[in-house]
Amino acid sequence: MTETAASTEANLIASGAVAIDAAGETLWLLPDPAIWWPARAMLLVADVHIGKAASFRALGQPVPAGTTASNLARLRSLVMRYRARELVFLGDFLHARAARTAAVLLALQDWRSALPPDLRLTLVRGNHDLHAGDPPPALSIDVTTEPHVAGPFALCHTPGASRAGYVLAGHLHPAFHLRGRRSADSVRLPCFVFGPEGAILPAFGAFTGHASVRAEPGTHLYVIGDGRVWPVRQNLPAGPARDM
């Protein structure tokens, strides 16, 4: 390992990230939440849902403002921190067509202008993208359908097995209930789900719901809490998941 690689690994560990092996590749699960694939200098995020709060406010719902700015700032911070060459969105970049307000589009353009010009951006279309439409061309985001093959991985939005490779997907916004010794002691935390045929990333967006999941035999869960990623040391029967 080179000195630079060793320094990067030390920084990842200090940041609360956890390294796992998937399809013969080392992936770092970040508490941000995202996946860092060092061999490709690639960041992967799922379900950003840009403009979701704006869509709700357009319907007269009293929801918090500032989530788009927060999401974009976090994305830029990740790109700059890891010197990523590519940022991949595993579906649901824009929340809805109503999210394409002048303020949201301006924030997106400012965000893109603040990123390295040679950074490659790729969107694997999700169910919300089909309704919201592709991102504005000025953002220079390559848009594709699932599966998008990268090395041994099939980059998708919808979880499930694929002949194209080990699936990395989103869509379900998974979260896990951690329970203490007393029944009243419980907390639900976003999590990464890694199974035999694929993985599901937690939602990146700050204003998203969650679907509770349980671990099937052979499935490993990694929850995000207190700014760190934590392996869940138990296996439970599969639980329900739902479309977000």
> Is residue 129 one of the residues assigned to a domain?
yes
Give domain status of residue 53, yes or no: yes
Q: Has residue 156 been placed in a domain? A: yes
Paired tokens of 230: 């934590």
Residue 244: inside a domain, yes or no?
no
What pLDDT does residue 122 have? 98
SS3 133: coil
Does the structure show a pLDDT above 50 at 144?
Answer: yes
Is 236 inside any structural domain?
no
Q: Which residues have CB under 8 Å from 204's CB, separation 6+?
A: 32, 33, 34, 45, 46, 47, 48, 71, 74, 75
What does each C-alpha distance from 187 to 80, 216, 235 come to in angstroms? 32, 20, 17
Residue 132 has pLDDT above 60, yes or no: yes
Q: For the chain, first and last CA: distance in Å?
A: 41
Summarised one tens digit per residue, pLDDT across range 29-67 is 999 999 999 999 999 999 999 986 555 445 444 445 557
CB 89 within 8 A of CB 132: no
Residue numbers of the domain that contains 42: 3-231
pTM: 0.87
Domain count along the chain: 1
Angle at 65 between CA 59 and CA 68, to 5 degrees: 100
Give the integer Cα–Cα distance in Å for 234 and 69. 37
CA-to-CA distance for 131 and 141, rounded, in angstroms? 17
- The answer to whether residue 239 sits within a structural domain is no
Q: Is the pLDDT of residue 156 over 90?
A: yes
Least reliable range by pLDDT among 70-74, 82-86, 237-241: 237-241
Does any domain span residue 62? yes
Q: For residue 97, what is the domain's CATH number?
A: 3.60.21
Query: What tens digit of pLDDT does each residue of 181-224 get?
Result: 666 667 889 999 999 999 999 999 975 677 788 877 889 999 99
